[in-house]
Structures are given as C-alpha cells and as structure tokens.
A and B are shown apart, each in its own frame.
Chain A
Amino acid sequence: MRSDINKKNYLQGRSPIGGWLYIYTMKRIFLVLAGILLLYTASAQKSLLAQDENNKYIYYQVVDQPNATKDSLVGKVNSFLHEAFKKSKRIQTGDSLFTVKDKFLTYSAFTFAKHESGEVDFVLNIECKDNKYRYWLTDFVFRPYYKDRYGMFVPENGIEIPLEKASSKLDKKDLEGYLAQTGAYCRQTGDNLKAFMIQNHQFSKANTQPARRVVTKKW
C-alpha cells in the first residue's frame, strides 16, 4: 500500500513528460529483468543435461524408493509407460529394463512469434531394483522443421543432427534454445515418472540433482 502511495505522489509531482519518463524507465527495467530471467531459465535448463562416458548428452537420475520390491516397481513402470507413452515403441529387456523411443517438439526461441522449429528424437530407459530405480534419457537427435506450402511446419526429410554434433550444424543461439528445451522436457518427464511411482508408496527423497558426469554402468 505504501509503495502505491509513493508511486502516486511521484507521478502527481511530475509534469506529463516526467510521468511518461517514469513509465518509460519502469518499462525498460521490467524488460531487462524479464530478459535476464529468460536467459537464466534457459541456462538452468540446459545445465540439466550431463554427458556420459561416450560424451553423449544424458539426463540421468537414480531414485530411492524404500520398501518397494523390484517386481512392484517393474509393474509401476509398465503402467507408467503404457499411460504416458501409449503410441511409442516400447521394449522390455530382461525383467527390469524398459526402453522407449519417442520425440518431442521444439519451438523457436527468443522471438515473439512462436512456432515449431523441429523435433528431438530420444530414448528413455528405466531400470528397477529392490528399493530403487533409475531412468535416463539420451540419444537426442534433432530434426529441423520448415514451413511448407500449406503454412504447416513439417520435418526436413533426411536431416538428422545428434545434439552432440549440432554445434557445427546449427546456429549457436538456436542450439542453446534446443538444449534448454531438451533439459526442460527431460525434467518434466522425470517429474511425471516420479509422481507416478510414489503413488501408494511412502514418499522417499529422490536424488533431484542430476550428476554432471555420469557413469551408467554402476548404480
């Protein structure tokens, strides 16, 4: 309330030009802050991705779930994949490893006109043990879109760019945007998985910070 009064007095004590300058200045400050926030968010999401032993981008987490048997976790993972990746190709290896191939859309970044800019193919793996499970998303391959004659954004046929090699093929700013969106997608997928897995289980704290360097052979 007090700040509102001060603002009112400030405006009343100024000429129309002074008021305009105040609003102009506030607008500039707001835009700068919004820009900083946007860059910070993009940077934070990009940093969610680590690199594995083969220098491939990976989003990797191990989640402890005490009092849960492997079989019960396997059943839950099966249900989750059936619900969240209905149309995707799902493979079960052995009795506890699941693999899904899917893709998500990316959008043009840092522009007022938002439209699809491409899609990212990925592989999601989930593996279960007694009292814990792990999941990781990797094999990210970007396929750029172009605007076709019907005004639709569709894949450019035959162009597939692994994100690890994209720096030589894509504009730096565009690539940063795609990495940020990939990180955000991975985090969201992980959040959805964890929320599903703790249903009817006593909550256990997950390892929420992905490792910066990942060795996937030991867990």
Chain B
Amino acid sequence: MPADTGKVGTGADPKDPPLIFSGSVDTYWKYDFSGHSNIPTSFASDQNSVSIGMVDLGLKKKVGKAAFVGELSFGPRSDQSIPTSGYHIQNLYVSYDVTDKFNLTAGYMSTFIGYEVISPTGNFNYSTSYLFTNGPFQNAGFKATYAFSDKVSLMAGIFNNYWNTYTSFITHGNTTTSGDVSTFGAQLMVVPAKGWTAYLNLATGSFSGTELDLTTAYQITDAFKLGLNAADFSAPNNGGGFSGIALYPQLAVSKVVTFGVRGEYFTYKNGGGNVTGITVSSNIKAGAITLIPEIRFDSKSSAFPFAFADSNLAPTNSASQFLIAAVYAF
C-alpha cells in the first residue's frame, strides 16, 4: 500500500532521528503442479528449486527538513525489477519539507501506482498480481506533496518519459538519444473513515501511456482487512493496454497467523485475452521471519498471450502452483 505523505518520519521527537538502516532477505521454493513453470507474473519464477529472492538494504537520514533515502538490492528478484543491470537501486531520492504540510521530493522512486510492491516485506502474497507485473515499478522524477489535513493530501509531479528507467530516452530506429521528463503523475489520498485509506493515481505521458489506478485498503476490524486495486492502462498510439481488478481480504486468526486471498481478474485490451487468478496465502510470523505458504490457481482465455502447458506439455488454460517463502526483515 502506498502512503505518499511525503514525510520522512513522524512523531513528536524533537531531535533528528538517527541514521536508519533496514532491509530484508527472502528465499522460496515453488512447485507448479504441471511440473514446469506456467504463471507469468513477476518474481518467484524458478520451478522445484530452493531459490533466492533478493537482499534489500536501505538507508535513510533526516536532518532538519532535509532527508534522503537510498535503497539497494541484489539477487534475482532485484534483477527482474530494475531497468539496468549493475545499478541495483530501488530508491534513491532526496526530499525537503518546505512546511509541515508541503514536501518536495526528487530522484528515483518506487512507483506511486498500484497495491503490490517489489519488496516482499511490503506484500501479503509472495507471488505477484498481473496488475503489478504489467504496471510501473519505478518512476524517476520530481514531485510535490501537499497535505490539506491528515485525511486528504495531493501529490503532483513530472517524471521521466518512460517508466522503470534511470534516465529518460527516445529511440529512433537503432539510435537512442536522451528523452524528456514528460510523464505527469498525480495521487489523491483520502481517508474516508478511520482505518480506511484510498489512493486515486494517474500517470500519463505521450511515451509512457496513461494509467488510472485506484488502490485502497480498509482495516474493518482488528482482525479483518480488505484491500482493492483497480487499474486501466492505455498504451500510446492506440497500442492496446490492460485493465483489471484485484481484491485482497485478509483475516488475522492470532497474533502469529494471518490468512489472505487475492482474487484477480485481468484483461488485455484489443482482444488480448484475460486471466483470473485466485491466490490463498498465509503469513506466519516467527520473530523477524515471516513464512508464507501459498497456493495459486490461474485460469485464462485462449487469447491470453502467455501459454500454459499441462504435465504432458499440451496447451491448457489453467495452471496451479504451491510455494513456500521465508522473508526476514530487519
């Protein structure tokens, strides 16, 4: 869930907070019941292998009104989530609180769009949704956030012409030149009720296309939380796009165990087919470790561009998998 308050730290402590160091590591084992990988969403792609996700290392510091965040990552999950091999940067930005309510931020940041995130500590399910996989991961740019109150804030910014790039670029045939900062982004955050937060997001540009996204979560009781993500993306030059919706009900049955479901419907535009995914996960806390056993069933239409195959390698429209992941956060 995004929380784009534009604030680095909160609270009543008058002193500057110390240099904050945090991070995570994750590992998993996945088995697709066909005997080979089918489901094409991001990360956790290895079949019947004890595999690694990534090590994530974050630093942040705030002195007075100025702050920075630097977050590095290494590993297969990192490689699949960043644009340039060798950079290993998930977040690198500086921010300044002009007033208590007005913040300016510039750099390379995780996208403000969508429900799920790259870091496994930020997601309930270990596998990811089609909406996440097809949406932006990061946006480099400059944004301003104004908090009208603790219940309403507005972010607006300009970002590089393409998503998921450290530098802007334009390709002409085989030639790549510098691009521009032409993607406009905005996020309206509202808190309609206690425990309920909603984000209406827009990213639009002639190179990057236009995505409209609603991300919301409501902690209805101490134990029950309901999340929702809905998005529509139109690629530039009538190049298609996608739309979809995902629901995330979660129920805490003890202070250690929480169960959750992700139900998703996703469709590509221009007759590109659709897919429905049901993912049932549990988060089992053991100190700093979270164990995530998860089972997932996906069913697609024939026009869906990613092929599923059964155990005989014959085409099929359904796939299912089990995985168990361990995520250590510090």
From A88, A115, A156, A159, B20 is in contact (CB under 8 Å) with A115
What CA separation (Å) do A149 and B218 show in the bound complex?
Answer: 18
The answer to whether B2 and A148 have CB atoms under 8 Å apart is yes
Number of A residues near B (Cβ < 8 Å) is 34
The answer to whether B3 and A154 have CB atoms under 8 Å apart is yes
B105 closest partner in A (C-beta): A150
Q: Which of B301-330 contact A (CB under 8 A)?
A: 329-330
Find chain A residues with CB under 8 A from B1 CB: 148, 157
Query: Is residue B273 contacting chain A, with contact meaning CB distance below 8 A?
Result: no
A53-61, A168-176, A206-214 - interface stretch: A168-176
Query: Is residue A27 contacting chain B, with contact meaning CB distance below 8 A?
Result: no
Find chain A residues with CB under 8 A from B197 CB: 157
Given A115-B20, A155-B10, is A171 in contact with B3 using a C-beta cutoff of 8 Å?
Answer: no
What CA separation (Å) do A154 and B117 show in the bound complex?
Answer: 15
Instruction: Classify chain B's interface size.
Output: 35 or more
The answer to whether A148 and B18 have CB atoms under 8 Å apart is no
What CA separation (Å) do A21 and B121 show in the bound complex?
Answer: 41
Find chain A residues with CB under 8 A from B100 CB: 87
Query: Is residue A90 contacting chain B, with contact meaning CB distance below 8 A?
Result: no
The answer to whether A115 and B22 have CB atoms under 8 Å apart is yes
Query: Is residue A105 contacting chain B, with contact meaning CB distance below 8 A?
Result: yes
What CA separation (Å) do A119 and B10 show in the bound complex?
Answer: 9
Find chain B residues with CB under 8 A from A155 CB: 10
The answer to whether A158 and B194 have CB atoms under 8 Å apart is yes
Find chain A residues with CB under 8 A from B21 CB: 113-115
A84 closest partner in B (C-beta): B14
Least Cβ distance of B276 to chain A in Å? Answer: 26
What CA separation (Å) do A206 and B17 show in the bound complex?
Answer: 31
The answer to whether A149 and B2 have CB atoms under 8 Å apart is yes
What CA separation (Å) do A77 and B181 show in the bound complex?
Answer: 54
Query: Is residue B23 contacting chain A, with contact meaning CB distance below 8 A?
Result: yes
Least Cβ distance of B150 to chain A in Å? Answer: 11
Q: Which of A102-147 contact B (CB under 8 A)?
A: 102-105, 108, 111-116, 119, 146-147
The answer to whether B330 and A113 have CB atoms under 8 Å apart is yes
A–B pairs, 29, beta carbons within 8 Å: A87-B12, A88-B12, A103-B11, A105-B12, A105-B17, A113-B21, A116-B11, A116-B20, A119-B10, A147-B22, A147-B58, A147-B329, A148-B1, A149-B111, A149-B117, A149-B122, A150-B4, A150-B110, A151-B60, A153-B22, A154-B5, A154-B7, A157-B1, A157-B217, A158-B218, A169-B222, A169-B255, A171-B255, A171-B285
